[in-house]
Amino acid sequence: MTDTATRPAPDTSPSPADRTGPVRLVDTRRTALLPATRGRVTGGLWAERRRVNREVSVTTGWDRLHEAGNFTNLELAAGRHEGTPYVGSLPFLDSDLYKWLEAVAWTLADPDLDAEGEARLEQFLDASTQVLEAAQAADGYLDSYFQVNFPGERFVQLAWGHELYCAGHLIQAAVALHRTRGDARLLDVARRVADLVVASFGSGEGRVDGIDGHPEVETALVELYRETGEQGYLDAARYFVDRRGHGLLAGHAFGSHYFQDHEPVREATSVEGHSVRQLYLLAGVADLYVEDGDESLIQAADRLWHEMVATKTYLTGGIGTHHTDEAFGDPYELTNERSYCETCAAIASVMFSWRMLMITGEARYADLVERTLYNGFLAGLSLDGQRYIYANPLQVREGHMAGGNDRDYARKPWFKCACCPPNVMRTLASLEHYVALGGAAGLRLHQFVSGSWTAPVGDGEATVAVETDYPWDGRVRVRVEDSPGTWGLTVRIPHWASGATLTVNGEPVQPTVADGWATVTRVWAAGDELVLDLPLEPRFTRADSRVDADRASVALERGPVVYCFEAVDNPGHRLDDVILDPTATVEVRSTDDGLPADVVTLAAPGRVRPRPAEGWWPYADASTAAPTDGEPVTLTAVPYYVWGNRAPGAMRIWTPAE
């Protein structure tokens, strides 16, 4: 009936090793990362998540931050409070406030925010800004941890002090607020901080030749440069990128790769160390490339992205295997049981991939953004928007001993080190940025989100309205609401989609299909409708043979959603003994068992392996047969991101297939 737009199978794509040449640029630099769409999310999964974010998470953030003591040092620095400073080993508390302020800023631009909510957020914003203005020193310095605990000590404890990291998040909040509300007060505070950084750091005499242990200021300074046009900010960003990798932070117990300070980014061939640090750095590297065009930067970013995705990324888009140093493991070291997969690392991955998408226009970046948003990111937040998780395991065993720092997999209202909660908030609050892009050639839909998207196309501007129940349903309707004439409407064909079809006004079309994009170029008029149908057959997935953790196992996916088996849905079946049959047909079902009504669950045939007569020693001669048969069962799978919202218990994604 219709034409088929099929993506090539992954294995035939170019290898990371081949990707040292220049990267194709779709968009001009300079403005590529400025908001290219005016979007509004109107329905479906993301609208609901944003509603909860707006009404629950962001709103209660003010109380959570106060309870956690994030305002204590700032109020002490502002002279508004006398008491005991918050010391601990948490020099980054100011940044939690800043990330939340960024979430407030984006939320204030949400058309669905009601007047009461708006007034409340403005009150929070005003009160916060007043504290920050009062706390800021005359010369612009603002970091309450050092101001209160180590007055006069500035830019000395660079490895662990997080001063520039905090500055970066302040800048990002201020830029967001300036963009959404034209607010200059917070931007003034941020600029004075940035000016002091610019004046203090560098290789000249009397300057600090150093970098922050946690990258973040790089991307923030480029953003501030975009917002203000001030060259000094861009130069400072370049300085920080250039100086990293020369051992300035050496001597830490985790090794200099923890800080990505073991080799300059232009020479690096692998992502290493603390995964959030690595990806915040690479987001800054991509930003810097956009503004100054240094090809060696984008080559490095592209090379490292591919190394990360091909060898160090979980099926969920989660990254960072190790708990101890919150770091990437070795290539293919993707243990499910102890997957760290920090929620912040999923966010950092989205930040980096989105920039690479905007720069190169390659669909694989959008594919990873989508996978990460629906799985590794969304799992970090409870369905009710009130609880968060730091580490996102891909497997929880029967008999799991919970408790303690990193063995308690239940989501929590807040953390002592609360980087993740406000990071989730700002990501959901700015989600519309990830959906579409306009340009000379037309309008491109990166993600399938119900809403309205206005973007420059050719010489004018187009508006499209998207209606879809994706990811539960594969039909995506794109109705043109406003059009300047002839332009290309481009939709992504996800890498897992085989047999996608397109119609325009009900008629099958033969789009231009290339590298994951399908484009229909024509005279578009208001009322025209493009319909994309993505087949959402459940599918079994296997891993690269080098991923030892997934050997002889399969995972169940449908569309961009990774599924898992949870004990609560499979009573009586021991999830540690389950075997799936990857040749069997998986049934699609609805659910009413404590999950949102739209969530699609799956029913997969399998077996439960009989337990052997247990010996004292769990290893046996390989010539003896392991039990392979077992009682046939039908197992219920739920989207990974909803796991742990009902009852505690075992959970697994990768499941033996033999």
Annotated catalytic sites, by residue?
A: 326, 419
What are the E-state strand segments in 371-516?
Answer: 395-396, 436-439, 442-445, 451-457, 460-468, 475-482, 486-492, 501-504, 507-508, 512-514
Shortest gap between Cβ of 84 and a second copy (angstroms)?
20
**CB nearer a second copy, residue 118 or residue 515:** 515
Give the whole-angstrom CA distance, residue 317 versus residue 447. 16
Q: Using N-to-C axis directions, what is the helix angle for 343-360 and 420-429, rounded to 10°?
A: 40
Q: Under DSSP, is residue 657 helix (H, G, I), strand (E, B) or coil?
A: coil
The answer to whether the CB of 475 falls within 8 A of the CB of 535 is: no
The answer to whether the CB of 187 falls within 8 A of the CB of 177 is: yes
**CB nearer a second copy, residue 67 or residue 398:** 398
Tokens of 447: 């993600």
Give the whole-angstrom CA distance, residue 515 versus residue 609. 43
Tokens of 66: 């106060």
Tokens of 630: 């077992």
Angstrom distances, CA of residue 634 to CA of 21, 161, 581: 49, 53, 11
Pick the closest to residue 103 from 375, 415, 418 (CA basis).
418
Tokens of 190: 């941020």
Give the whole-angstrom CA distance, residue 451 versus residue 432. 9
**CB nearer a second copy, residue 459 or residue 614:** 614
Shortest gap between Cβ of 214 and a second copy (angstroms)?
16
Q: Which single residue is written with the structure tokens 């209660």?
A: 60
Shortest gap between Cβ of 188 and a second copy (angstroms)?
40
- The number of angstroms, rounded, from the C-alpha of 300 to the middle of its chain's C-alpha atoms is 20
Give the whole-angstrom CA distance, residue 19 versus residue 16. 5
Shortest gap between Cβ of 296 and a second copy (angstroms)?
21
What is the Rg, in whole angstroms, of the alpha carbon atoms belonging to the chain?
25
Tokens of 334: 């993707």
Angstrom distances, CA of residue 208 to CA of 203, 204, 232, 252, 565: 7, 8, 16, 19, 53
- How many angstroms separate the first and last alpha carbons of the chain? 39
Tokens of 36: 């290219």
**CB nearer a second copy, residue 469 or residue 576:** 576
Q: Given CA atoms 401, 403, 407, 410 in this order, what sign does their dihedral have?
A: positive
Shortest gap between Cβ of 276 and a second copy (angstroms)?
16
Q: Given CA atoms 15, 16, 17, 19 in this order, what sign does their dihedral have?
A: positive
The answer to whether the CB of 557 falls within 8 A of the CB of 496 is: yes
Give the whole-angstrom CA distance, residue 243 versus residue 248. 8
**CB nearer a second copy, residue 230 or residue 577:** 577
Give the whole-angstrom CA distance, residue 637 versus residue 604. 7
